[in-house]
Amino acid sequence: MNIRIEKTSTPAQKPDQKKLGFGKYFTDHMFLMDYSPAEGWHDARIVPFGNLTLHPAATVFHYGAEVFEGMKAYRRADGQVQLFRPMENVKRLNSSAERLCLPQIDEQDALEAIMKFVEVEQDWVPSEPGTSLYLRPFLFGSDEQLGLHTIQNALFIIIASPVGSYYAAGINPVKIMIETEDVRAVKGGTGYTKCGGNYAASNRAAARAEQKGYSQVLWLDGVHRKYIEEVGAMNVMFRIGDEIVTPELSGSILPGITRKSCLDVLRKEGYKVTERKISVDELVESMKNGTLKEAWGCGTAAVVSPIGELAYGDMKYTVNNFEIGEITHHLYDTLTGIQWGNIPDTYGWTVEIPANK
Ligand code: PLP
Ligand code: COI
């Protein structure tokens, strides 16, 4: 793929790596590529970061035709920059695009775009412990008309943000509220995609949870309101007795890459792991009778995040004395170890970015 590169003449000052937060700062450039039926994907370019000009009738503003990805570039101790399972993000982007009838991108082209962009922005990959360069590829319909038609024109963009930990608390346990009113997704809908609309539909419950002092909500399935699905920006896992359980991929939850990686690690190391339906009644019972040993969420932004308290209706349950559990810690250490290059990547998950000459 031919990528035109136009460097900025006014590079920004880099923020203090100890105060990055999440998604507040942006790098000097962005990647863009246009789609039209006549030309397909064309005009791939890396240009100075800036505002977009879009027609006010552009499909994305009215009918929510947008999908995105979240991934990170990590700086290793030797200074080299690497990505974690980037092809998984590319495949999921296409799967999301297919569901929303947005044009798909050739996998190799999408990977090349991501890698070239990170190569150009590599000085922005921070080196403080726990920091990384968060990458946000997104794709949306840009047709300039209000009729409801199949999308013809689209844009693919990648922006990047140097980040610290997603939760202000770092790797400390978070409080999660089980949502009993709103639902996020149903089978047959868009739950398995990373489309903006899923997050818009989640906002009200998330706001209510935040008001009550909870980080995020734990969704129940939209039909029976009975089975555990996932957290706002994480998949979820439980250690009940000697079994590690996680909701099966039912079509309404996001097939998380961190989830998949946790399962790969646990299975390789011989843990008993089951992907199945978990009812909220089973979960509550396990908290009451003490068989719930650990609960954690997992996602790119949040990495592996211990859950210290679960609220359901009027009841509040403390998990593992609000401490980080043994398996939670092990998964955190293993994944972050591979991602930051501190332990050998025996899985072949990391992809190195060529260093600046
Ligand atoms: N579930 C939801 C709703 C998410 O937004 C995310 C974050 O991307 C995840 C799960 C975890 O997915 P991944 O591990 O691929 O980042
Ligand atoms: C990610 O983990 O990459 C996410 O997309 C979370 C985001 C909603 C903040």
**What are the pLDDT digits (tens) for 202-253?**
999 999 999 999 999 999 999 999 999 999 999 999 999 999 999 999 899 9
User: How many angstroms does the Cα of residue 73 sit away from the middle of ligand 1?
Assistant: 16
Mean pLDDT of the chain: 96
Span 292-301, average pLDDT: 96
Cβ–Cβ under 8 Å, residues 298 and 234: yes
**Which two structure tokens, joined as six digits, stand for 21?**
């937060």
pLDDT at 171: 75
pLDDT at 166: 73
* 254, 260, 338, best to mutate for ligand 1 pocket (most atoms within 8 Å of CB): 254
Q: Which residues line ligand 2 (CB under 6 A)?
A: 70, 233, 299-301
Give the closest residue to 48 by CA, choosing from 31, 26, 29, 33: 29
* 194, 195, 202, 265, best to mutate for ligand 1 pocket (most atoms within 8 Å of CB): 194
Task: Give the ligand 2 atom nearest the CA of 232.
Answer: 8
β-bridge partners, 113 = none
Span 101-115, average pLDDT: 98
> What ligand has the least distance to the C-alpha of 71?
2
**Which two structure tokens, joined as six digits, stand for 263?**
């399962």
Task: Give the ligand 2 atom nearest the CA of 22.
Answer: 9
* pTM value surpassing 0.95: yes
The answer to which of 57-61, 159-163, 301-305 has the lowest mean pLDDT is 301-305
pLDDT at 69: 98
User: How many angstroms does the Cα of residue 310 sit away from the middle of ligand 1?
Assistant: 19
Cβ–Cβ under 8 Å, residues 50 and 161: no
> Going by C-beta distance under 8 Å and a sequence separation of 6 or more, which residues neighbour residue 13?
none
The pLDDT of residue 86 is above 60:
yes
Distance CA 106, CA 215 (A): 37
At 148-181, the pLDDT tens digits run: 999 999 999 999 999 997 766 557 899 999 999 9
**Which two structure tokens, joined as six digits, stand for 110?**
């999408």
Span 331-347, average pLDDT: 96
pLDDT at 33: 98
CA 213 to chain centre: 23
Task: Give the ligand 2 atom nearest the CA of 71.
Answer: 3
